[in-house]
């Protein structure tokens, strides 16, 4: 379960931001997670709820997860398409010369704090 490792890294990063910016309390953390990142958001939320109480500035912080859709680009025809729906093969031309544009990210978008 790599969600636990990501949550630990996230909490450590937020702790560093709190120290640097002299923040005492975090109200919410908005995280953007790609739909093909491999992160299971329900497990991620469970891990967050467990570990946040171990970090003084995060004890009451709400985790908000926004999903970034998976979008793939086809080199063969130049079109883009939904990654989850069609996979690696382009639905427009059948090419396998494709690459992921978005959907693999895990990014801290916003920290609401005092």
**Domain housing 32:** 2-17+24-113
Residue 15 has pLDDT above 70, yes or no: yes
pLDDT of residue 68: 97
What order of strands is seen across the sheet that includes strand 62-68?
62-68, 26-34, 106-113
pLDDT of residue 1: 53
Mean pLDDT of 58-82: 97
Q: Which of 104, 98, 103, 105 is nearest to 80 (CA)?
A: 98
The tally of domains found in the chain comes to 1
pLDDT of residue 108: 95
pTM value?
A: 0.84
pLDDT of residue 2: 82
CATH of the domain at 8: 3.30.2320.80
């Amino acid at each position: 379960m790599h969600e636990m490792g990501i949550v630990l890294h996230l909490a450590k990063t937020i702790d560093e931001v709190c120290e640097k910016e002299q923040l005492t309390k975090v109200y919410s953390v908005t995280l953007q997670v790609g739909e093909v990142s491999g992160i299971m958001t329900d497990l991620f939320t469970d891990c967050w709820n467990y570990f946040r109480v171990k970090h003084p500035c995060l004890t009451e912080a709400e985790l908000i997860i926004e999903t970034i859709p998976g979008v793939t680009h086809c080199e063969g025809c130049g079109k883009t398409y939904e990654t989850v729906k069609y996979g690696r093969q382009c639905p427009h031309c059948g090419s396998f010369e494709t690459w992921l544009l978005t959907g693999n990210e895990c990014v801290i978008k916003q920290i609401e704090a005092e």
